[in-house]
Amino acid sequence: MVTATPAQKDIALTQAAVIPTITPLPPLPTNTPRPTLQPTSGSVKPSKADMVKAAFQALIGSYFYPLNSANVYEIALRGMKNYLQDNGINDPQVPIPDFSGDLNGDWQLFLQAYTLTLEKYQSQIGEEPLAYGAVQAATSSLGECRTGFYPPANTDDLIQNVAGTAPALGLGIIVVAPAGGEGLYISRVVPGSPADKAGLKTGDSIRGVGGQSIVGMSIGTASRLLVGGDKPTPGTQVSIEIKRAVTGKTEQLQITRGSTQVQTFERQIIGNVGYLRINSFPNRSQLTDLNLEFDNNLSELSKQNVKGLVIDLRGTRYGNYSTVRSFLSRFVQDNGLLIMSGRNAQGKFSALQMNSIPGVTVFNKPLAVLVDGTTAAEAELFSYALQLKKTARLFGQPTAGCLVGSDLVRMPDSSILNLAIFRVIQDPTQLDSVVDRVIPDEVVDMELSSLNQGKDSILEKALAYIQSL
């Protein structure tokens, strides 16, 4: 994590062969004359101005695509206005000056408009929510999967997810709703979780929760019943009705929701094929120990003389791009693992390439990777690079569509800007040629017939592929 400075790029990205030229986005169009700002009265001294400035400097200075400061600051002021309206202020007066696109000049205009707004409304609303609302409006307007602003009260979950230390709350299961099924079907049980201890297995279907049938419910509504709301509370109990896979036996279970520490890796051997689930790509503060753990898993599988390896990335959504590079280097030694848009060492927008770490021992056996719509960000970078280099065959469903590398930037007040600083592209001459999502080589559904037999059809397909080689 870095502190209120442009994100650090320390993963040996090198300049791609061709440097494209790009034009920053133009200012927002307007048909309304902009006001001349009145002088501030001096009655209010903004306490959050340093935080707001640091956030906007990082956003404009390090985002993977050029942002026009006029756009950013206007959207921020409109965000403040929307917040005031949403909190009972009728027709709030937030001045929006004529920004020019000059970074320093636009900041001074924004600060003046921000201060004038505080002078008028701080006694009713307070500065903190207005400051946070301004930054959140600017980041959310990008419509991008990773970049977001987190006030201090909301940073813990983000930090844990990126560090790979976030626990699995609730029962510790992943559920799907296959076509033709009744209720929710368990596709994964987290080892050591309450569901695991209760003996739940892949393919078991949940038919009722708390005495209420969930057959026919949407997966979102049924899942909220299972977890007890938007976020599960460890220690609370839930009664469920399940139908066992294979036997079809119906059972009533009482399970206490818990908090289960999820391991970075889950390893097993299925027949003569290795299986390795990667639950996250944790940040670089743990990278040395993490590499040793990863190498140990690969070494143990090699000792068992497995025919090949299946890597499961379904549900993997967080991590750090440095770890992605490190893990990729265990499977392929080459330059151009990924081509990305971002800023080079001189701060110029260009196409960059991620290269392997030289001298790393390669796991040289057939490789299959499992992905689906919950595979995101760093897990997408990893799977796409293996597919691009023809090192692995991918099975499952199209991924989430978030092929970016991001950094956490801590603000002076301990809020955090999660900032996307790279995005994967196809053509180094066109920074707009983004890779929308990863499409598996073999698109496979979680089939109801397989679940009823307690099997994972996507995993079964990948195992059959390895066995056929």
Give the DSSP letter string of 376-390.
Answer: -THHHHHHHHHHHTT
Q: Residue 163 corresponds to which amino acid?
A: A
Residue type, 85: Q
**Pick from 267, 279, 362, 274: nearest CA to 310:** 274
One domain, residues 65 and 173: no
Distance of alpha carbon 42 from alpha carbon 358, whole angstroms: 59
Question: Which of these three, 118, 138, 161, is where a domain ends?
Answer: 161
Task: pLDDT band for 99, please (50, 70, 90 cuts).
Answer: very high
Q: What is the mean pLDDT of residues 9-14?
A: 46
Pair of tokens at residue 216: 């026919």
- Can you give the pTM of this predicted structure? 0.90
Q: Note whether residue 96 is domain-resident.
A: yes
- Mark whether 253 and 281 lie in a shared domain: no
- 197 and 211 share a domain? yes
pLDDT at 5 over 90: no
Q: Which of 216, 233, 260 is the last residue of a domain?
A: 260
50 and 192 inside one domain? no
Place of tokens 């442009």: 6
**Predicted confidence band of residue 9 (pLDDT cuts 50, 70, 90):** very low
In this structure, the strands spanning 173-176 and 168-170 are unpaired
Lowest mean pLDDT among 24-28, 58-62, 390-394: 24-28
353 plus 240 within the same structural domain? no
Do the beta carbons of residue 302 and residue 330 sit within 8 Å? no
DSSP assigned state of 303 = H
* Cβ pair 237, 256 in contact under 8 A: yes
Domain boundary among 140, 161, 182: 161
Are the C-beta atoms of residues 103 and 61 closer than 8 Å to each other?
A: no
Tell me, yes or no, whether 6 lies in a domain.
no
More confident residue, 228 or 377: 377
Q: Is 116's pLDDT higher than 90?
A: yes
State the average pLDDT for the chain.
Answer: 90
Residues shown for the chain: 469
Question: Is beta strand 309-312 parallel, antiparallel or unpaired with respect to 367-371?
Answer: parallel
211-214: long-range contacts, CB 8 A cutoff, minimum separation 24: 211/239, 214/183, 214/184
Secondary structure E strands in 355-431: 367-371, 393-396, 404-410, 416-424
Residue 275 sits in a domain whose CATH number is 3.90.226.10
In this model, does residue 308 exceed pLDDT 70? yes
DSSP string, 141-184: TT--SS-EEE-GGG-HHHHHHHHT---EEET-EEEE--TT--SE
> What pLDDT, on the 0 to 100 scale, is given for residue 236?
93
DSSP summary character for residue 429: T
Confidence of residue 10 (pLDDT cuts 50, 70, 90): very low
Nearest CA-CA partner of 147 in 212, 30, 37, 62: 62
- If residue 299 lies in a helix (H) or strand (E), which one and from where to where? helix 287-303
pLDDT band at 102 (very low <50, low <70, confident <90, very high): very high
Q: Is pLDDT of 319 > 80?
A: yes
Q: Are residues 152 and 189 in the same domain?
A: no
Proportion of the chain above pLDDT 70, given as a percent: 92
Is the residue at 78 inside a domain? yes
User: Residue 195 sits in which domain range?
Assistant: 168-260
pLDDT band at 41 (very low <50, low <70, confident <90, very high): confident
Range of lowest pLDDT (7-16, 118-127, 145-154, 387-396)? 7-16
pLDDT at residue number 230: 79
**Same domain? 234 vs 281:** no
Q: Is the domain of 185 the same as that of 141?
A: no
Give the integer Cα–Cα distance in Å for 379 and 82. Answer: 35
Residues 307 and 423 in one domain: yes
* CATH (domain of 197): 2.30.42.10
Domain count, the chain: 3
pLDDT for position 7: 40
Question: Would 2 be classed as within a structural domain?
Answer: no
Write down the pLDDT at residue 164: 87
- Nearest-angstrom CA–CA distance, 29 and 11: 38
Q: Are residues 224 and 285 in the same domain?
A: no
Q: 14 in a domain, yes or no?
A: no
Supply the DSSP string of 94-116, one letter for each residue.
-------S-HHHHHHHHHHHHHH
**Mean pLDDT, range 3-7, rounded to an integer:** 43
Q: Whose structure tokens read 């000056």?
A: 97
Distance of alpha carbon 202 from alpha carbon 218, whole angstroms: 20
Amino acid at 90: N
Q: Judge whether residue 284 has pLDDT over 80.
A: no
- Give the gyration radius of the chain's Cα atoms: 25
Asked if residue 7 belongs to a domain, the reply is: no
Q: At what angle do helices 103-125 and 49-62 cross, to 10 degrees?
A: 140
Assess if residue 12 is contained within a domain.
no
Res 158 pLDDT > 70: yes
What CA–CA distances, in Å, run from 198 to 171, 194, 226, 463?
Answer: 9, 6, 15, 28
Residues 217 and 279 in one domain: no
Question: Per mean pLDDT, which range of 89-98, 365-374, 376-385 is the poorest?
Answer: 89-98
**Is 5 a domain residue?**
no
What distances in angstroms separate CA 184 from CA 2, 94, 400, one per listed residue?
A: 42, 48, 21
Task: Tell whether 197 and 128 lie within a shared domain.
Answer: no
Question: What pLDDT, on a 0 to 100 scale, did the predictor assign at position 27?
Answer: 52
* Residues forming a β-bridge with 288: none
- 3-state SS, residue 226: helix
What is residue 407's predicted lDDT score, i.e. its pLDDT?
92
